[in-house]
Amino acid sequence: MLDMHTLSRNQATSIIQLLDLFPVVVILGARQVGKSTLSQMVLPNAKMFDLERESDFLRVDSEPELLFNEVDLPIIIDEAQKSTRLFEALRVYIDANREQKGQFLLSGSSSAELLNNISESLAGRCAIVELNGFSWNEALEKKQSDFYRLLGKPIDQILLSKTSTIQRQLLELCLFGSYPEPYLERENKLFYQEWMSAYIQLYVERDIRALFPTLNLDAFKRFIRMISFSTGEIINYAKFSRSLDVSQPTIKRYFEIIEGTFLWRKLPSYSKNSKKRVIKMSKGHLRDTGIVNYLLNIGDVDTLKSHPQFGQIWESFIAEQIIVGLKSCLIKFEAYHYRTSNHSEIDLIIEGDFGVIPIEIKASTTTNKKQLFALEAFIEEHNCEYGILVNNGFEIYSLSKKIIQVPAIFLV
């Protein structure tokens, strides 16, 4: 059985690099994605304070300045957002020792609180790394694919990519999701089901209740279940409002909450330099397909493949992996979706220093010419170097002069 405490994580190298450049590095992410474990992997000899432990919280929050002078640096502080006094004390201490890098490694689950404290006290003094659950290569104990570093490079370089991954492995990853503990224990179905049930319950009953004490938790629970049916879709606030019998501003607030707590990924509409009428509503997906499948009662690969929502689930699965893969390489980019009023659609648009790359995602193994129309039109209108079709084929090759097929197994 694999052990999450010894499994290599893609972002470990990036965090080490950033600790050489900044006094503070902050790891943000949902609960149970492995932030504490990764922190200890990166700084195995550092003293760690977990602010969910009362004794650690009291020591850090009561006299943080005293702590900094008593304990050898670097220091790891987990769930840092819980201390109201920590960040101001960090600012003062860091400014007095500005040339010293890698002094503190912080982590936290609530981005809204942490980002507010960072912007007020640590702006310019820290780097932020977002940690998700297992990337595919981490789960399969493989070296990360070259695909993410080749984006924007000439097509012929991507054509040389190799893989040893089989499709069944990806389907299992899509089924069970990326949270380390349940994925590693996936063969124990009872444990897996109980873990997912407890995670969702604790997310609502503990985290959301603590962060938003006036929120209607019953309506929010129903909202969480409803979004499992809407992953990969345009966000229609009116539909949610009618179904849950709450106002549209409340629904928008719910989406802000699940995005801010790393459960949901919002993809804005790409409307730059377009001559067509673009639908400007955002699209989104639950970041972890294991949660989607749990909420939809999908318990095995065969049920997943035959489920009416498999196309949407697979699209979300692929899009999230590409986004996470690029972030783990410290590549700066923005992610969008694209849809016009005549239903011409592209699932994922990536824009960065490498240019604009449209990516269409299909669950099928083959693609006919008609399915390339939207990609070809977008490439021509926006003068892109090329576009990518990700499907379940078995080899990389050019579908046209400016469109390349990259099967999902090559993204590992």
Q: Which of 95, 130, 165 is the last residue of a domain?
A: 130
Are both 295 and 355 inside the same structural domain? yes
Model confidence band, residue 380 (pLDDT cutoffs 50, 70, 90): very high
Of all residues in the chain, the percent with pLDDT exceeding 70 is 98
Are both 279 and 324 inside the same structural domain? yes
Model confidence band, residue 166 (pLDDT cutoffs 50, 70, 90): confident
Domain count of the chain?
A: 2
Are both 236 and 176 inside the same structural domain? yes
Q: Which of 81, 105, 130 is the last residue of a domain?
A: 130
Are both 200 and 340 inside the same structural domain? yes
Answer whether residue 6 is part of any domain.
no
Contacts (Cβ under 8 Å, ≥6 apart) of 334: 350, 351, 352
Give the separation between CA 269 and CA 283, rounded to whole angstroms. Answer: 7
Rounded to two decimals, the pTM is 0.91
Answer whether residue 1 is part of any domain.
no
Are both 126 and 145 inside the same structural domain? no
Q: Which of 130, 155, 181 is the last residue of a domain?
A: 130
Are both 253 and 401 inside the same structural domain? yes
Contacts (Cβ under 8 Å, ≥6 apart) of 180: 4, 7, 32, 33, 34, 37, 133, 134
Are both 111 and 186 inside the same structural domain? no
Mean pLDDT to the nearest integer, 172-190: 94
Are both 153 and 302 inside the same structural domain? yes
Mean pLDDT to the nearest integer, 381-400: 93
Are both 122 and 151 inside the same structural domain? no
Model confidence band, residue 3 (pLDDT cutoffs 50, 70, 90): low
Full residue range of the structural domain in which residue 107 is found: 11-130
361 backbone dihedrals φ, ψ, rounded to 5°: -120, 125
Residue whose C-alpha is closest to residue 289's, from 344, 363, 388: 363
| Dihedral sign of CA atoms 60, 64, 68, 74 in order | positive
Answer whether residue 51 is part of any domain.
yes
pLDDT, position 6? 61
What CATH number is attached to the domain comprising 111? 3.40.50.300
Contacts (Cβ under 8 Å, ≥6 apart) of 250: 219, 241
Is 195 a residue whose pLDDT tops 90? yes
Answer whether residue 405 is part of any domain.
yes
> Residues of 93-117 as b/e, b for ≥16 C-beta within 10 angstroms?
bbeeeeeeebbbbbbbbbbebbbeb
